[in-house]
Amino acid sequence: LYGELPSFRSLGFHGESFTDFEWLELNNARDDGRKAELNLSAQRARLAEAQLRLDEARAHVADSGREDPVTPQFVRLSRAVAAARDRLRRIKELAESKYASPAEVQQAEYDFAAARADLDTSRRDKTQQLASAETSVADAKLAVQGAERALRDAHDASEALRSSARENNAKKVITKN
């Protein structure tokens, strides 16, 4: 159960008549139930957001391995690698004909290596973001389960209080008869 039932009842009186009252523990239990429902709703929204980030991260990781990527980041990086490769090839051809110096060849090789390194770094970053998104989804799923459990506990506590009230009313009717 959600805890022990109180051995007494706190009553809040509203009018001049003693019949206009509310049971404060029952109201608190209802409030706890509402809070648990709101928390569950927030945790479900968090899970949905984490799932969207995971899907996006998966798309980026998949795109990073394609020959012809579609995401702007990898399109730009792939084009930079292709341009550096083409420039290196042209400069090597020019160097064979003695129209380019060894320093120009080295610079083109450096530029090509730098472009590939940028692409590889972006791939690693996206892979790390994917791992982080997977962790976020797992955390959000646990939070949803915890919120569902808290909601069940709040409903159980409220039902226990209502049951106690019905039991006491039934005892009063039996003693009157």
C-alpha dist (Å) from residue 45 to 31, 52, 55, 153: 21, 11, 15, 21
Cα separation, 10 vs 27, in Å, equals 10
What would the mean pLDDT of 100-113 be, rounded to a whole number?
Answer: 95
In the predicted structure, residue 137 carries a pLDDT above the cut 90: yes
Q: Is a pLDDT exceeding 60 seen at residue 63?
A: yes
Residue 26 near residue 158, CB atoms below 8 Å: yes
91, two tokens: 């400069």
Please tell me whether the overall predicted TM-score, pTM, comes out greater than 0.75 for this model.
Answer: no
Q: Look at phi and psi of residue 15 and say left if phi exceeds 0, alpha if psi is from -120 to 50, else beta.
A: beta
Helix (H), strand (E) at residue 149: helix 102-176
Structure confidence at residue 5 (pLDDT): 47
Cβ atoms within 10 Å, residue 36: 19
